[in-house]
Amino acid sequence: MTTEKENMPRILIVEDDERLAMLTQDYLRKNGLDVAIETDGTRAIRRIIGEQPDLVVLDVMLPGSDGLAVCREVRAHYQQPILMLTARTDDMDQVLGLEMGADDYVAKPVQPRVLLARIRALLRRSDTVPSDTSPQRLEFGDLVIDNGGRSVTLNDELVDFTSAEYDLLWLLASNAGRILSREDIFERLRGIEYDGQDRSIDVRISRIRPKIGDDPENPKRIKTVRSKGYLFVKEGN
């Protein structure tokens, strides 16, 4: 018989401030999540890879290995969402976190209800099952995107994508020939309004381009349309 707890999403909070971690754990548990805590970065690497939680909330500042190092170490072995906690004013932490493979970030101090909303949005995104009416496979010359297996191949070689990178690529490719603004992308991927400052989409685009054989200096597949957004070119090559 399946217990209620077994149906709860499993969250691992990696945070060295134990009091803050326990308060967050208590709030998230009351809202239907199964939450564990780890205070050390080095131990967190082992636990994330070994336990494979449904989502990791990862603080940047940690003893042992910091959050950026943890993210970099686990990314090849862990495909579920990573939500990074960064200092409110440290834009570089946010950019580096995304470059290391984080799926989203929130600035500390963060209100518990805001954290819960971000967690739920990431869990919904990773659980999304494509509808029967939407295409499951997109081909653009030597680039093939398979939404059933959430896989990308270039010249018949499998390319490694983080969950967030894949979601952005699929959104752009499934709207090939249409310009998507940053506002559109934010709303559809993160469920929040674009604040005009966030650089996460730009960082991901810069990481995606070389992975799909695009020249970052003169992109042919994902074009930046000044003052409008991004365009995935419909024709392959």
State residue 204's pLDDT score. Answer: 87
Q: Could you say which residues of the chain have pLDDT below 70?
A: 1-6, 88-94, 126-135, 190-198, 235-237
State residue 193's pLDDT score. Answer: 58
Q: Assess whether the previous peptide bond of 109 is cis (omega < 30° from 0).
A: yes
Pairing of strands 157-159, 151-154: antiparallel
Q: Using CA atoms, how far apart are residues 26 and 171, in angstroms rounded to an integer?
A: 35
Taking only the tens place, the pLDDT of each residue in 34-64 is 999 999 999 999 999 999 999 999 998 888 8
| pTM for the model | 0.61
Q: Confirm if 56 and 48 have CB atoms less than 8 A apart.
A: yes
Taking only the tens place, the pLDDT of each residue in 186-225 is 877 766 555 656 677 888 899 999 999 998 888 999 999 8
State residue 88's pLDDT score. Answer: 56
State residue 130's pLDDT score. Answer: 44
Sorted by where each starts, the structural domains of the chain and their CATH numbers stand as: 7-127 (3.40.50.2300), 137-232 (1.10.10.10)
